[in-house]
């Protein structure tokens, strides 16, 4: 079999120096982990990304997962919620509750979080363009239950740049979008000190076809852009850098993925210390969540996905992740069943409690293959940084379509290698069974959209419309004047303005963004 394109061979690398490259866990540049004891002191947070249908249905799934030992909540939102449309908007038709939970107002958020101990667990929310609205709803739901806001722990993704690159759930042009991102960072710095106001994500770029090196380079380049914007907004590096977080994918090439995470920490530590002058150790440490790769799951022989997920989870742990989501075996077919999700969670628990890998910080540190790959990935990432700089920086590279083209070409090469059998995928292009094993599929409630519309009608009928309009005007004023968007959004949420109404108020000021495939991104 020929050598697979894009994968490194440690035998090609000759410049490994143990004294220079190994170091100790918990010491700069944190190649071997950000804490001296790593999982011996505390295990990674076990999250299962979940959400579907209505708030009530998702709430039941969250409670089931917490009862099964999940240690952090991770919320998936449907496309209308991500794009700032109410469930009765024409563009929401057929999408309500399909790829995540439908959240239209504070009422929905309150139902979603009913009896969830928000003062005891951390919550991750994968939301970007409508981040200020969703965060405002979460804050307001906690406040309504008498929970101290300053004690809330969690992460809001709030990474809009990768939406222009790979995922597409943007609303506003890049300028206003980055302004919203920094508004949230400034608000959290003052009001939610234990909250991570951004999770800089490479996961979705990897799902779109980015290579290992591209995932790392583009994610860190986005991170640099956010740091520069935060500093420009008046924040000092050591005031916000400790609350920055990252989100990566993990694929099947075991040693390469472990090396990727080690290289990421080293690169980021150097950037924060040398480029931005960060003084605090915690400002230089890269903290990240990992999700096993959805794009590696197969609809054929789906039971094989259990093995893939286990392998990927092990790589993430050996790579030093702070938080982990394990995909379910049936996600290539449908929303995962409760049984499949529970098995995915138990996979993490078995690795944590039965394998012994948590007993040693960076157990593969010093392995020639891992150390050599770490160096090689770092070198390749820095070469890609130079290309990005030659385009005028990450924003210009995005606007010119360079990043998207790079990922599209990588994706093409990847799938071509599968078609040519240069890359073997068990059950897809080799070792194929004539008949796959039967597997239970999850079935969504067919009347989700109608139920959400009825909830919306009831909300609009019962609320004080004068308070809603006053609050929405304050959102517009803040958007025009450059004031922090969060306080008026919170006021609008508490007045029971909907996610569509609040998003429309910002659309009126900021405009909307459209992508032209020939010319790159345009307003």
Rounded to 5°, angle at Cα 381 from 379 and 387: 110
Residues 130-150 pLDDT 10s: 999 999 999 999 999 999 999
**CATH number of the domain where residue 270 is located:** 3.20.20.240
Residue 505 lies in a domain: no
Give 308-314 contacts, CB < 8 A, sequence gap 24+: 308/252, 309/344, 309/347, 310/347, 310/351, 311/252, 311/254, 312/250, 312/251, 312/252, 312/257, 313/250, 313/347, 313/348, 313/351, 314/254, 314/351, 314/355, 314/357
69: Cα within 13 Å, side-chain hemisphere: 14
Residue 55 lies in a domain: yes
Residue 180 lies in a domain: yes
Give the pLDDT score at 14.
Answer: 58
Domain count, the chain: 1
Residue 486 lies in a domain: no
Give the pLDDT score at 12.
Answer: 58
Residue 300 lies in a domain: yes
Q: Where is pLDDT greater, at 13 or 405?
A: 405
Residue 374 lies in a domain: no
For residue 190, the SS3 value is: helix
Residues 67-101 pLDDT 10s: 999 999 999 999 999 999 999 999 999 999 999 99
Give the pLDDT score at 316.
Answer: 98
Q: Are 511 and 172 in contact (CB under 8 A)?
A: yes
Domain that holds residue 399: 10-356+381-419
Give the pLDDT score at 157.
Answer: 98
Query: Predicted confidence band at 13 (pLDDT cuts at 50, 70, 90)?
Result: low
Residue 126 lies in a domain: yes
Sort strands 244-250 and 122-126 into parallel, antiparallel or unpaired. Answer: unpaired
> Residue 76 gets which letter from DSSP?
E
Query: What backbone torsions phi and psi does residue 391 show, to the nearest 5 degrees?
Result: -90, -5
Instruction: Report residue 284 as tokens.
Output: 């230089």
Q: Tokens 């029971």 appear where?
A: 496
Reply yes or no on whether the pLDDT at 207 is more than 80.
Answer: yes
Closest by Cα among 348, 272, 276, 286 to 317: 348
Strands of the 244-250 sheet, one edge to the other? 195-196, 153-156, 122-126, 72-76, 45-50, 323-325, 288-292, 244-250, 198-201
Residue 482 lies in a domain: no
Closest by Cα among 61, 140, 73 to 106: 140
Q: Where is pLDDT greater, at 521 or 366?
A: 366
Query: Predicted confidence band at 7 (pLDDT cuts at 50, 70, 90)?
Result: low
> What would the mean pLDDT of 2-26 be, rounded to a whole number?
63
């Amino acid at each position: 079999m020929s050598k697979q394109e894009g994968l490194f061979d440690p035998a090609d690398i000759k410049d490994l120096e143990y004294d220079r490259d190994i170091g100790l866990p918990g010491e700069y540049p944190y190649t071997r982990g950000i804490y001296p004891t790593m999982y011996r002191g505390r295990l990674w947070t076990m999250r299962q990304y979940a959400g579907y249908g209505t708030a009530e249905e998702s709430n039941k799934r969250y409670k089931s997962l917490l009862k099964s030992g999940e240690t952090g909540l991770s919320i998936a939102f449907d496309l209308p919620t991500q794009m700032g449309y109410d469930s009765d908007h024409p563009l929401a038709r057929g999408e309500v509750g399909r790829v995540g939970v439908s959240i239209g107002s504070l009422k929905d958020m309150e139902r979603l979080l009913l009896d969830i101990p928000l003062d005891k667990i951390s919550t991750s929310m994968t939301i970007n363009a409508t981040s200020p609205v969703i965060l405002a709803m979460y804050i307001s739901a906690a406040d309504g239950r008498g929970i101290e806001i300053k004690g809330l722990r969690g992460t809001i993704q709030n990474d809009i740049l990768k939406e222009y690159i790979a995922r597409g759930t943007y609303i506003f042009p890049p300028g206003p979008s980055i302004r919203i991102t920094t508004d949230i960072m400034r608000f959290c710095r003052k009001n939610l000190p234990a909250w991570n106001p951004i999770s800089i994500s490479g996961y979705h770029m990897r799902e779109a076809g980015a290579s290992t090196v591209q995932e790392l380079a583009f994610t860190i380049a986005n991170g640099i852009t956010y740091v520069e914007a935060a500093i420009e907004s008046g924040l000092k590096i050591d005031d916000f850098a400790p609350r920055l977080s990252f989100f990566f994918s993990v694929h099947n090439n075991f040693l390469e993925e472990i090396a990727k995470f080690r290289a990421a920490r080293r690169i980021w530590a150097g950037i924060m210390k040398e480029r931005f002058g960060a003084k605090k150790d915690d400002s230089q440490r890269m903290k990240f969540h990992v999700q096993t790769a959805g794009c590696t799951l197969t609809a054929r022989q789906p039971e094989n996905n259990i093995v893939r997920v286990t392998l990927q989870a092990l790589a993430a742990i050996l790579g030093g992740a702070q938080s982990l989501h394990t995909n379910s075996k049936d996600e290539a077919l449908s929303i995962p069943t409760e049984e499949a999700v529970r098995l995915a969670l138990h996979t993490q628990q078995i690795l944590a409690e039965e394998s012994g890998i948590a007993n040693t910080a960076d157990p593969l540190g010093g392995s020639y293959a891992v150390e050599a790959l770490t160096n090689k990935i770092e070198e390749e990432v820095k070469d890609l940084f130079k290309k990005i700089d030659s385009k005028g920086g990450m924003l210009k590279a995005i606007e010119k379509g360079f990043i998207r083209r790079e990922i599209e070409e990588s994706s093409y090469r990847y799938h071509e290698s599968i078609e040519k059998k240069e890359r073997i995928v068990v059950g897809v292009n080799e070792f194929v069974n004539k008949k796959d094993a039967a597997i239970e599929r999850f079935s969504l409630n067919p009347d989700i959209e109608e139920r959400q519309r009825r909830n919306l009608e009831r909300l609009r009928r019962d609320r004080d419309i004068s308070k809603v309009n006053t609050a929405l005007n304050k959102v517009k004023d803040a958007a025009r004047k450059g004031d922090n968007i969060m306080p008026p959004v919170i006021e609008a949420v508490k007045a029971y303005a909907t996610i569509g109404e609040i998003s429309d108020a910002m659309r009126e000021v900021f405009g909307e963004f459209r992508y032209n495939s020939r010319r790159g991104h345009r307003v």
